[in-house]
Chains A and B, each alone.
Chain A
């Protein structure tokens, strides 16, 4: 597609449940990023992929969070045993490798944990 696509746009779940958030980057963009944005805050880095591998996962808050990108295109962010503090907007972005570094963001997935 023309832009970064994220699904679902909204997800409401109960505490303790498992959640998957999907990101489809701009065609041809080899770099993919996940950020988390809480209300009134700037986006917080979670993980970065270059191709299929996670080049930097230093922002993942704990081992309940995991992300994959098996074929170097679509990525899935997985959250196990969700907690109320996980409620946020999860933003995905993509960019061209060795480019200006400009990130192109999707509309985000709003996660609410009850």
Chain B
């Protein structure tokens, strides 16, 4: 059974600082997704990573995938308050056959001024 773990679960950081969120998963998959969720809102897709070594960047966020290590990272550069949200990684449990995603428990990011 596929398990997806994120750490840290909670991250408080100051504006302007850099940090990385980690996502580990337990079985082979080469499809990984990052989502953002604001309080009381639904999930917004951030990144789609579809192969080993994939790297995507959008603004102050950069995501990468290492399928051999079963690890994805979400790197935050020079954080700003607007990035405060909960971030989820999700892994396709069947390599794209069904798009059934298994989500991690999430990382609550709080960016302090």
Residues of A within 8 A of B (CB): 31, 33, 35, 40-45, 48, 50, 55-56, 91, 95, 98-108
> What are the interface flags for B71-107 relative to A under an 8 Å C-beta threshold, 1 for contact and 0 otherwise?
0000000000000000010101000101111111110
- A5 CB to closest chain B CB (Å) equals 11
Is the CB–CB distance between B88 and A103 below 8 Å?
A: no
- A40 CB to closest chain B CB (Å) equals 8
- B27 CB to closest chain A CB (Å) equals 15
A-B pair count, CB < 8 Å, reads: 64
Is the CB–CB distance between A99 and B102 below 8 Å?
A: no
Give the distance in Å from the alpha carbon of A59 to the alpha carbon of B44 in the complex. Answer: 22
Is the CB–CB distance between A41 and B41 below 8 Å?
A: no
Residues of B within 8 A of A (CB): 4, 31, 33, 35, 41-45, 48, 50, 88, 90, 92, 96, 98-106
Is the CB–CB distance between B99 and A95 below 8 Å?
A: yes
Is the CB–CB distance between A42 and B103 below 8 Å?
A: yes
Given A107-B41, A107-B42, A108-B42, 11 additional A-B pairs, CB 8 A: A33-B99, A40-B106, A42-B104, A44-B103, A45-B102, A98-B96, A100-B31, A101-B92, A101-B101, A105-B43, A105-B44
Can you list 19 pairs linking A and B with CB atoms under 8 Å apart?
A31-B98, A41-B105, A41-B106, A42-B88, A42-B104, A43-B43, A43-B88, A43-B103, A44-B103, A48-B99, A48-B100, A55-B98, A56-B100, A99-B99, A100-B48, A101-B33, A101-B92, A103-B33, A103-B90
Is the CB–CB distance between A48 and B43 below 8 Å?
A: no
Pick the contact of A102 from B48, B88, B102, B105 — CB < 8 Å? B48
Give the distance in Å from the alpha carbon of A55 to the alpha carbon of B50 in the complex. Answer: 23
Give the distance in Å from the alpha carbon of A50 to the alpha carbon of B88 in the complex. Answer: 24
Top 5 closest pairs, chain A to chain B, by CB: A42-B103, A101-B99, A105-B43, A105-B42, A107-B42
Which residue of chain A lies nearest to B106 when distances are taken between CB atoms in the complex? A42
Is the CB–CB distance between A31 and B99 below 8 Å?
A: yes
Give the distance in Å from the alpha carbon of A91 to the alpha carbon of B88 in the complex. Answer: 15
Residues of B within 8 A of A103 (CB): 33, 43, 45, 90, 99, 101
